[in-house]
Chain A
Amino acid sequence: MLKLVGVTKTLGGQPVLQGVDLIVPTGKLTTIIGRSGEGKSVLLKHMIGLFQPDSGQVWVDGVEISRLHGHALNEVRKRFAMLFQGAALFDSLTVFENVAFPLRERLRMKGAEVTIRVDEKLEQVGLAGMGHKFPAELSGGMRKRAGLARALVMQPEIILFDEPTTGLDPLMAKSIHDLITGMQRKFGFTAVMVSHQIPEIFGISDYVAMLKRGKIAAMAEPAEFQRTTDPEIREFISVGGTVPLHAASSGG
């Protein structure tokens, strides 16, 4: 189980997270929503140890990871995968090599075994036959699919999705959502997604949580979440979260 307790973080002198308490249910898709600049991506990065909290704890199945370094942190990270906002594919490698990267680097896998695993994942995300292309030759949606294939190839227990549909047209966004939910149902991994796609996320998530003023203001199943009486949350979900809180800040 993934659990955050009282996580605080200040970046550039500005408090971003101000005591986040969150329990992510295992094997479910939990979506975190919130206004731009609220620190959703920062929160996500705390879960995988890319950020260390100023105070508070991050627990992954009984292991407190926020003070781990080096080898010990890497051991925990082996259970994770993350799909970044811009997919974060390695530009110097082809799509095939990108997806094969964790297999070769972490499992020291070679030859035909790599090819079989990579081709299977590329086919699952709809990129069969595109392995030879470089990331720069792909459209935004295809890059996200390739990133998803790379995240899935190690069969992780937990996958973090940082705004997986940002910058995509509605049809492409829907197809990425369908892909994520389809894979989540098929493989049963724990998924945490940061998204602005309201109301679409209510149809695909098992749980929805809202980050407001550095804290989790509400978390519930989608139907219950939409019945909230909190006027601010009601307003946010009714306008689709398009009003920026801090116009100057970036990164969600």
Chain B
Amino acid sequence: MFADLTMTLFELVGRWARINVAEMGRMLIFVVASFAWLARPPLRGMQIIKQLHFIGYKSTFVVVLTAAFTGMVLALQGYYTLRKFGSEGLLGSAVALSMIRELGPVLAALMVTARAGSAITAEIGIMRITEQIDALDTMAVNPLQYLIAPKLVAGLIGVPLLVAIFDVVGIYGGHLVGVDLLGVNAGSYWNSIESAVEWKDVYGGILKSISFGLIVSWICCYKGFYTKMSAEGLGTATTEAVVLSSVLILIWDYFLTSLLL
């Protein structure tokens, strides 16, 4: 009886591991094949620009809004904490470093996941269900080259640009609350940023945002491309894409931070 139970448990764990390892392998092949197709002519310049417009430009509003309030709340929290130590002058560096190192890349990537990532999964998933992806195949047009690769490139370029906007808007949001509302000296706000922020902080932020851009576009494209052929399957794929992208962003952020520090 006990032996049977142990065997069943081993079987279950084994099956779970086998399915997940196979899935990870398929994901890796998916992204490598997409980049390999990107290197082949024709270059999908127009497709990349269209996707940059969708992933990047159309996410600008929500990113600016999030960034402004993130910067403002950081300044509010930071001001009252720093005041206890009489260090209000360091508010600028506290806001800027939090933004550039962590909050900018992570929050911008999460907002892109919610706004553009879910839409990418839904769009590709519907194309799969309505046989539009099969139609591309039958016309001898590779779907990875035509459909997926431009989205991956747009994610790689678009997310870092959005993060840059996020950082700047966030710092100005902090300025609005810290300097204009709470009365921190403007000179010390900017001066503390200038003296505290180093190139390696900016470089780390850029590195993070590039990798997050890849994670979002990769996971969301993959989940849409392999969606099950039903409305329920598409719903599940979209949810999984958003959840998995968000979780992977946070996990990868931890490992990248520990490497960069």
* A residues near B42, Cβ cutoff 8 Å: 108
Q: Are B140 and A74 in contact (CB under 8 A)?
A: yes
B48-59 near A? 1/0 per residue, CB < 8 Å: 000000000000
Nearest B residue (CB) for A74 = B140
Residues of A within 8 A of B19 (CB): none
CB distance from B227 to the nearest CB of A (A): 15
Q: Is the CB of B138 within 8 A of A77?
A: yes
Which B residues are CB-close (under 8 A) to A74? 140, 142
Chain A residues 67 to 96 lying within 8 A of chain B, measured CB to CB, are: 70, 74-75, 77-78, 80-82, 84-86, 88-91
B132 within 8 A of A: yes
User: Closest residue of chain B to A98, judged by CB?
Assistant: B135
The answer to whether B140 and A77 touch across the interface, beta carbons within 8 angstroms, is yes
Determine which of A70, A77, A86, A108 lies in contact with B131 in the assembled complex, contact meaning CB atoms within 8 Å: A86
Q: A74-B142, A108-B42 are in contact. Are A88 and B137 (CB under 8 A)?
A: no
Closest to A160 in B: B138
Number of residue pairs spanning A and B whose beta carbons lie under 8 angstroms apart: 52
B251: chain A residues at CB < 8 Å are none
Residues on A with C-beta less than 8 A from B131 are 84-86, 88
Residue of B whose beta carbon sits closest to that of A106: B140
Query: B150 → chain A, closest Cβ, in Å?
Result: 13
Bound complex: CA of A78 vs CA of B139, how far in Å?
7
B141 at the interface (CB under 8 A from A): yes
A190 to B: closest C-beta gap in Å: 15
B253 interface residue per 8 A CB criterion? no
Query: Taking CB as reference atom, which chain A residue is nearest B137?
Result: A50
> Is A19's CB within 8 Å of the partner chain B?
no
Question: Which residues of chain A have C-beta atoms less than 8 A from B135's C-beta?
Answer: 82, 84, 88, 90
A114 within 8 A of B: no
Interface string of B143-161 (1 = CB under 8 A from A): 0001000000000000000
Q: CB within 8 Å of B: which of A95-112?
A: 101-102, 105-106, 108
Q: Which partner residue on chain B sits nearest A81 by CB separation?
A: B138
Find out whether the CB atom of B132 lies under 8 angstroms from the CB atom of A102: no
The CA-CA distance from A39 to B142 in the complex, in Å, is 25
A9 to B246, CA, bound (A): 38
> Is A48 part of the contact surface with B, judged by Cβ < 8 Å?
yes
Q: Does A45 contact B (CB under 8 A)?
A: yes
Which of B126, B127, B135: most chain A CB closer than 10 A? B135
Interface residues of B in 182-234 (CB under 8 A from A): none
Assembled-state Cα–Cα distance A85/B132 (Å): 11
Q: Which residues of A contact B138 (CB under 8 A)?
A: 48, 50, 77, 80-82
Give Cα A49 to B42, complex, Å: 23
Interface centre among B134, B139, B142, B146 (most CB of A within 10 A): B139
Partner of A78, one of B130, B132, B134, B140: B140
Closest CB in chain B relative to A3 CB, distance in Å? 19
Chain B residues positioned under 8 Å from A90 (CB to CB):
127, 132, 135
Complex alpha-carbon distance, A70 and B139, angstroms? 13
On whether the beta carbons of A101 and B132 are closer than 8 Å, the reply is no
Smallest beta-carbon distance B163→chain A, Å: 28
Separation in Å of the A205 CB from the closest CB of chain B? 22
Across-interface contacts of A154 in B (CB, < 8 A): 139
B residues 111-131 touching A (CB-CB < 8 Å): 126-127, 130-131
Contact indicator B132/A88 (Cβ below 8 Å): yes
A sample of 24 inter-chain contacts (CB < 8 A) reads A48-B137, A50-B138, A77-B137, A81-B138, A81-B139, A82-B134, A82-B138, A84-B131, A84-B134, A86-B130, A86-B131, A88-B131, A88-B132, A90-B127, A90-B132, A90-B135, A91-B130, A101-B139, A101-B141, A102-B141, A105-B146, A106-B140, A106-B141, A154-B139
Q: Which 5 A-B pairs have the closest CB atoms?
A: A88-B135, A74-B140, A88-B131, A77-B140, A82-B138
Interface of A with B (CB < 8 Å)?
A: 45, 48-50, 70, 74-75, 77-78, 80-82, 84-86, 88-91, 101-102, 105-106, 108, 154
Known: A82-B135, A85-B131, A90-B132. 14 other contacts (CB 8 A): A45-B134, A74-B142, A80-B138, A84-B134, A86-B131, A88-B131, A88-B132, A88-B134, A88-B135, A90-B127, A101-B141, A105-B146, A106-B139, A108-B42
